C-alpha cells in the first residue's frame, strides 16, 4: 500500500480537514493523515525539522515559515477564512451582540473571559487594548493552553465568556455560540496551505493542495464555520 501523505495543521482547521480527508480517500483514493495541534506548536515542530508533506496554518505564520525556507514559496495558497466568535456556557443568558457597545458590555459583565493562543488570540487582546478595556479586564482574561479548546473552559465553569475561531467553538458540548464580533471589531483569519520544503513527494503534495481548494472542500468548510478564501493569503484582519 502506498504510504500516506502526512499533513500538519492548526486546531482551527482540524474539523474541515477531518471531513475532507475522508472525502479525498473515498473519492480520489489518496491516503492522507493530518496531525493537528496548536498553531504555535505546529510552527515550532516545523522549525525543528518535523517530517511531513503539507502544512495548513494561519496565513501570516505560514508566510513566515516560507520566508525561512521551511515551505516552498510557490506552493502557498489561501484556503479558508474564518471569523472569531463569542460563546457563553450552555444555559447562561445570551448577551446582546449587535454592536460594539454590546461587545463592551459583554466583556465588562463577564467574570472571566477566555481566549485562544495564536494570531486570533493576539488580535483579541489588541482589540481589548484599542477599546481601552485592558485595565478593566486585568486579572479576568484567561488564555487557554495551546491545543485546548477555549469552549472547554466554558463547559467546566472556568470562564463566563470565550472567544475563538467559529470552527473550534461551534460543536463544543456545554458552549453556545453567541455570534461573530460586531462591526469594526470583527476578527477574520485566513488559513493557507503549502508544501513543506523537506517533503520527498512534492508533486503529490501539490496535487493534494489543489483538492483543498475544490468545490467540495468549500462546501465542507462552510459546514464547519469557514468560507473558501480567494486571492492572495492574508493575515488576521480586523
Kindly state whether residues 91 and 150 are assigned to the same domain.
yes
**Looking at the domain assignment, is residue 238 inside a domain?**
no
Average pLDDT over residues 137-146: 92
**Residue 206: CATH number of its domain:** 3.40.190.10
Mean per-residue pLDDT of the chain: 91
Asked, for residue 143, whether it belongs to a domain, the answer is: yes
Q: Does residue 95 share a domain with residue 68?
A: no
Indicate the pLDDT class of residue 238, thresholds 50, 70 and 90. very low
Tell me the C-alpha distance between 65 and 43, whole Å. 8
Q: Tell me the DSSP string of 99-121.
A: SHHHHHHHHHH-S-EEE-SHHHH
Does residue 233 lie within any of the structural domains? no
Q: Which of 88-97, 110-119, 142-151, 170-179 has the lowest mean pLDDT?
A: 142-151
Find how far residue 146's CA is from the centre of its chain.
12
Number of domains in the chain: 2
CA 9 distance to own-chain centroid = 9
Task: Flag whether pLDDT at 230 surpasses 90.
Answer: no
Judgement on whether residues 108 and 149 belong to the same structural domain of the protein: yes
Is residue 89 located within the same domain as residue 179?
yes
Note whether residue 203 is domain-resident.
yes
pLDDT digits (tens, 9 = 90+) for 32-51: 999 999 888 999 999 999 99
Same domain for 95 and 140, yes or no, is: yes
Among 83, 84, 75, smallest CA distance to 192 is for: 75
Residues 213 and 141 in one domain: no
C-alpha cell at 39: 498553531
| Residue 216 banded pLDDT, cuts 50, 70, 90 | very high
Same structural domain, 106 and 131:
yes
Q: Is residue 33 part of a domain?
A: yes
Is residue 89 a part of any domain in this protein?
yes
**How confident is the model at residue 18, as a pLDDT?**
95
pLDDT at position 235 over 60: no
Q: Are residues 77 and 90 in the same domain?
A: no
Task: Check if the beta carbon of residue 195 is closer than 8 Å to that of residue 75.
Answer: yes
pLDDT digits (tens, 9 = 90+) for 50-72: 999 999 999 999 999 999 999 99
DSSP 8-state secondary structure symbol assigned to residue 2: P
Domain span at residue 209 reads 5-81+190-228
Round to whole Å and give the CA distance between 186 and 166: 12
Do residues 176 and 196 share a domain?
Answer: no
Domain annotation covers residue 236: no
Q: Are 208 and 133 in a shared domain?
A: no
Is the C-alpha dihedral spanning 114, 120, 125, 128 positive or negative?
negative
What does DSSP assign to residue 89? E
Confidence band for 234, pLDDT divided at 50, 70 and 90: very low
The pLDDT score that the predictor gives to residue 231 is 56
pLDDT at 3: 73
Same domain, 59 and 87: no
pTM: 0.83
Same domain membership, residue 150 and residue 123: yes
**3-class secondary structure, 24:** helix
Tell whether 234 is covered by a domain: no
54-58/188-195 β-pairing:
antiparallel
Q: How confident is the model at residue 232 (pLDDT cuts 50, 70, 90)?
A: very low
Amino acid at each position: 500500500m502506498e504510504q500516506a501523505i502526512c499533513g500538519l495543521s492548526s486546531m482551527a482547521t482540524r474539523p474541515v480537514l477531518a471531513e475532507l480527508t475522508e472525502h479525498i480517500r473515498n473519492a480520489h483514493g489518496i491516503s492522507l493523515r493530518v496531525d493537528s495541534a496548536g498553531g504555535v506548536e505546529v510552527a515550532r515542530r516545523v522549525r525543528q525539522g518535523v517530517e511531513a508533506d503539507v502544512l495548513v496554518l494561519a496565513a501570516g505564520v505560514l508566510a513566515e515559515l516560507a520566508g525561512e525556507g521551511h515551505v516552498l514559496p510557490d506552493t502557498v495558497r489561501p484556503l479558508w477564512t474564518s471569523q472569531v466568535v463569542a460563546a457563553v456556557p450552555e444555559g447562561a443568558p445570551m448577551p446582546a451582540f449587535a454592536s460594539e457597545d454590546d461587545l463592551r458590555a459583554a466583556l465588562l459583565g463577564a467574570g472571566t473571559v477566555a481566549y485562544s493562543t495564536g494570531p486570533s488570540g493576539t488580535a483579541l487582546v489588541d482589540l481589548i487594548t484599542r477599546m481601552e478595556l485592558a485595565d478593566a479586564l486585568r486579572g479576568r482574561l484567561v488564555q487557554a493552553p495551546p491545543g485546548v479548546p477555549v469552549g472547554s473552559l466554558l463547559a467546566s465553569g472556568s470562564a463566563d465568556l470565550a472567544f475563538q475561531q467559529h470552527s473550534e467553538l461551534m460543536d463544543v458540548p456545554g458552549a453556545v455560540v453567541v455570534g461573530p464580533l460586531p462591526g469594526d471589531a470583527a476578527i477574520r483569519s485566513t488559513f493557507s496551505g503549502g508544501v513543506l520544503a523537506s517533503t520527498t513527494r512534492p508533486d503529490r503534495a501539490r496535487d493534494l493542495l489543489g483538492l483543498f481548494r475544490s468545490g467540495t472542500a468549500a462546501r465542507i468548510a462552510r459546514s464547519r464555520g469557514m468560507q473558501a478564501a480567494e486571492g492572495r493569503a492574508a493575515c488576521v484582519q480586523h
